[in-house]
Structure 1
Amino acid sequence: MKVTPFLMFEGKAEQAMAFYCETIPDSRVLDLTRYGAGEDGPEGAVKLARASIGGTEVVIFNSPVQHAFTFTPSVSLFVDCSTEEELERIVEALSKDGTFLMPTGNYGFSRRFAWLNDRFGVSWQINLP
């Protein structure tokens, strides 16, 4: 048995996956399947992919169906950074066109910490232990 985070996007799966792989160290696309002719999604668009984001496998799905829900901060991706520079770089990238839930600061439980929703709506907690 294996538990894997599953991120469902509505048309922006490929952009989000590429962005995460560029932003988070030790990240890469493991495999992907694209929609074919006559399938529910746009032909050539990412249908389903697996990516290693910071060493954690994540399934990424591009739903052709519009839903009445999206991501919520009650589930987030938690990143422990090695240096303050790494934290600042990641926070700067992820926060562009996103919203902060907790701006970067010292909250007592961490030297530096930020919690934000990125431009795709995915919630991230970025930590410097």
Structure 2
Amino acid sequence: MSPTVRPFLMFQNGVGPDALDFYVSVFPGSVVEEVELYGPAGPGPQGTIKTASFTIGDQSVMCSDSFVKHRFDFTPSFSFFVTCTTPDEVDRLAGVLGEGGGVLMPPGNYGFSPWFAWVSDRFGVSWQLNVGED
């Protein structure tokens, strides 16, 4: 049996539930598969995510809220690459995902794609949005 490999997002400061709700609201057909929250006995703050899994597009993703404070966070070196069918879809996702985050490359034709954008969302996760084929 081959191993299962999935992206894992580690959030800090208790933003995991908000991030999870946000991601499944942005991508049609997304679902939360499983969520286990910390209870009053901890060790993390009550109501934060111990572990969760969700599907956006066809990608299964895991996440948690770290109660241990780290000196690192997300970096654009890791990003979700989203294949879109139209420039309008790239523009919509860039606007929604980039709100409260940052623009690494605004929507445009960069020569390697007819329409591409790269944004980081308000949680620090990076998204490359591309018109093209899977």
TM-score range, shorter chain: over 0.9
Aligned 1:4-23 pairs, distance under 5 A? 4-10=6-12, 11-23=14-26
Distance, in Å, in 1 between the alignment partners of 2:45 and 2:107 is: 38
Deviation string 1:88-122 (CA, Å, 9 cap, x unpaired) is: 21111011011111111000111110011111100
**Amino acid aligned to 2:94:** V
Query: Residue 118 of structure 1 is aligned with which of 94, 98, 121?
Result: 121
Unpaired runs of 5+ residues, structure 2, are: none
The equivalent residue for 1:3 is 5
Q: TM-score with structure 1 length normalisation? A: 0.95
Distance, in Å, in 2 between the alignment partners of 1:47 and 1:93 is: 27
Unpaired runs of 5+ residues, structure 1, are: none
The equivalent residue for 1:94 is 97
Cα pair 2:90 2:107 within 8 Å, conserved: no
Q: TM-score with structure 2 length normalisation? A: 0.91
Aligned 1:22-41 pairs, distance under 5 A? 22-41=25-44
Structure 1 ranges of 4+ moved more than 2 A: none
User: Aligned residues, how many?
Assistant: 129
1:84 shift after superposition: 2.2
Cα pair 2:101 2:120 within 8 Å, conserved: yes
Cα pair 1:26 1:55 within 8 Å, conserved: no
Aligned to 2:18, the other structure's residue is in SS state helix
Distance, in Å, in 1 between the alignment partners of 2:54 and 2:38 is: 18
Aligned 1:70-81 pairs, distance under 5 A? 70-81=73-84
Cα pair 1:9 1:63 within 8 Å, conserved: yes
Aligned to 1:7, the other structure's residue is in SS state strand
Cα pair 2:9 2:62 within 8 Å, conserved: yes
